[in-house]
Amino acid sequence: MTNWEEVLTYREAVTDMEVEASKMASETLDPPVQLEFDFMEVDYEQLTRDTKMLNEYQQDIEQFIMCEGDARLLENTLGITGEAGEVSEKIKKHVRDGTPLDKDGVIKELGDVLFYVAALATHLDEDLSEVAAINIEKLRDRKARGVIQGQGDNR
């Protein structure tokens, strides 16, 4: 089972529990209480297509990888920071100089960031779709706990 499937299975179970809790609260408490939950609508077919596309992209870029071992680890990591820096430069010049945003240029640089993120994920033996699933679950957890803002990994 992929991480996306695990997340979706977990979310379905939580949704069922939320529905049951809301029903029990409205039937047993005096006065009745209506519980509200933030339900996540999931288009499973679209999610499957998106997952497949990410994983195919990750496989396709392997033809452009030039290093192995620790050299690859270093190249991929520095590639992320270098390309993210190029994105930042385009935004900085737009804000600083008051010039029109070079959206096409930013998109191309974001593609380069994605290339290195996908390459690093492959080097670490992870599917890019699993990296995305882990990240979205972390963000949802932080939001639910009211710590979406702040600093540190373990908030």
Angle at 60 between CA 55 and CA 61, to 5 degrees: 105
Cis ω for the linkage preceding 31 (within 30 of 0): yes
Q: Tell me: pLDDT of 3 over 60.
A: no
152 or 103, which is more confident = 103
Mean pLDDT in residue range 127-145: 89
Q: Tell me: pLDDT of 104 over 60.
A: yes
Domain annotation for the chain: domains and CATH numbers: 1-45 (no CATH), 54-143 (1.10.287.1080)
Angle at 84 between CA 78 and CA 89, to 5 degrees: 125
> Looking at the whole model, is its pTM more than 0.95?
no
Rounded CA-CA distance 126/136 in Å is 16
Q: What is the pLDDT of residue 2?
A: 54
Q: What is the pLDDT of residue 150?
A: 74
Mean pLDDT in residue range 131-152: 86
